[in-house]
Amino acid sequence: MADIGDYCCSIDRHLHELLDDAHSQRERTERQEQAYQAPQLYYVVHVSEAEKLSESGSSFIAYSISFGDYEVKRRYSEFESLRSCLCRLYPTFIVPPIPEKHSLAQYAVLQKRAKEDHHIIERRKRMLERFLNHMAEHPILSSEHIFHRFLEAGVSWTEVLHSPVITGLPKTPLHSSPSKAPGSSVADGSALQLPKIAATNAFAADVPVPSALAPIKNIEARWMDCELFTNKYANQFSTVIERNERRIYRKLGELSSDYAELGATLNGFSLLDHSESLAAAIEQAGQAVDNSYIEIGELLTQMEADVGEPIHQYAQYSLILKQVLRFRLLKNLQLEGVESALVRVRGKLESLLQADDEAKRLAQALESNHHGRRHTVAGQSIDEYTPPAPARDQADEE
């Protein structure tokens, strides 16, 4: 555990203490069971409940965040703005994803009830909880004070968004330059010195934003391999794995509906005129089908939480990787543009310096010829020449 002085605030210290306790508990469990446990996310931050609140005449869903003795309520739009700020502050980082906004299809079906749909709210709770715990375990983002302010009760998030740290950021990270700003997570003393986009650079603001379609002169093989792997990874999850998962989920849903219909039919059939033993057998068969319907429903709920949502989150990570690689590409294009501009300016500077040297030599030659040149008059240099005395008239002599 780090020293108390290494934490920026009490929330920072408390989060890391909870993570240290969870890590120690995991190590004790491994020693007791003498078996290796696969790495897993430590759930030290919990989104316990969601409730409908009203403010200024409008209603919204607020999610209760709790960790240790701390508790705060935040709405979905505040989660969204938190992630947006972190992406602007750290454009080279893979910031964990959050659940998307309601789709147009959900709004069309549910209309005004889309924000209050129990299924959507429960899904958001689970995915927002994963987001917060991924943030808490991140080696850099977990120490970002904006994240701590988000978890602090009684803090107006609107005031945080209007603080100089956020308002001082440029509209696009491409007009910034990495720096280790005092008070940030990459200030002196940090174990992991990684660049952070801290503020607008007066020179970077004048660099134009290039087009992603512009050709790159110097392409490193490692980045080409990284981009190819990311595209393959994204296609696998979005077009193969996620599609098959949805197909399985849909087939199980259809099977659940068939079991519900069959169970109702058998239960109704058992009430007809039958012998007692036959009616009991039909009723038992109906109950077995009803139990299968219930079990499949529970399986679908469990599959969505433990399989569908993680798969969807991996697909989201693939898109984030693409965004980070695109930022690197544009930065590389900016660098090449600046280098080309510097070559042109350097050529112009050298031409101007040569012209200036030529002008200086010409001026020195002219000055030398004007002051040091010797003119001869009657065989004497101009410096030794004495003009003759004026001739006297004969009358004066007489």
What lies within 8 Å, CB to CB, of 192 at 6+ separation is 139, 140, 186
Which 8-state DSSP code applies to residue 360?
Answer: H
Structure-derived torsion over alpha carbons of residues 298, 302, 303, 307, reported in degrees to the nearest 10: 180
Closest of 159, 146, 24 to residue 86, by C-alpha: 146
- The pLDDT value recorded for residue 38 is 64
Q: How far apart are CA 181 and CA 385, in angstroms?
A: 76
Burial of 221 (0-12, 13-18, 19+ CB in 10 A): exposed
Among residues of the chain, what percentage have pLDDT more than 70?
Answer: 79
> In this structure, which amino acid lies at residue 225?
D
CA distances from 361 to 349, 366, 369, 373, 374 (A): 18, 9, 12, 17, 21
Tokens of 113: 């009830």
Q: How far apart are CA 209 and CA 337, in angstroms?
A: 10
Q: How far apart are CA 296 and CA 302, in angstroms?
A: 10
pLDDT range class, residue 217, cuts 50, 70, 90: confident
Whether 371 has a pLDDT exceeding 80, the answer reads: no
- The pLDDT value recorded for residue 386 is 53
Whether 359 has a pLDDT exceeding 90, the answer reads: yes
When comparing pLDDT for 119 and 149, which is higher? Answer: 149
**What's the whole-number average pLDDT of the chain?**
81
- Summarised one tens digit per residue, pLDDT across range 10-51 is 899 999 999 999 888 888 877 777 666 666 788 899 998 999
Whether 166 has a pLDDT exceeding 80, the answer reads: yes
CA distances from 270 to 50, 260, 266, 274, 277 (A): 43, 16, 6, 7, 10
pLDDT range class, residue 373, cuts 50, 70, 90: low
Say how many C-beta atoms besides its own lie within 10 A of residue 329's C-beta.
Answer: 17
- Summarised one tens digit per residue, pLDDT across range 264-296 is 998 888 888 778 888 889 889 999 999 999 999
Whether 123 has a pLDDT exceeding 80, the answer reads: yes
Q: Report residue 293 CA to chain centroid gap.
A: 42
Closest of 97, 95, 92 to residue 198, by C-alpha: 92
pLDDT range class, residue 198, cuts 50, 70, 90: very low
Scanning the structure block, which residue is given the tokens 């446990």?
Answer: 37
Burial of 47 (0-12, 13-18, 19+ CB in 10 A): buried
- The pLDDT value recorded for residue 2 is 46
Whether 193 has a pLDDT exceeding 70, the answer reads: no
Closest of 177, 173, 187, 179 to residue 143, by C-alpha: 187
Q: How far apart are CA 34 and CA 201, in angstroms?
A: 54
- Summarised one tens digit per residue, pLDDT across range 91-108 is 888 999 999 886 545 544
Greatest Cα pair distance, the chain, in angstroms, is: 183
Q: How far apart are CA 150 and CA 361, in angstroms?
A: 67
Q: How far apart are CA 195 and CA 178, in angstroms?
A: 5
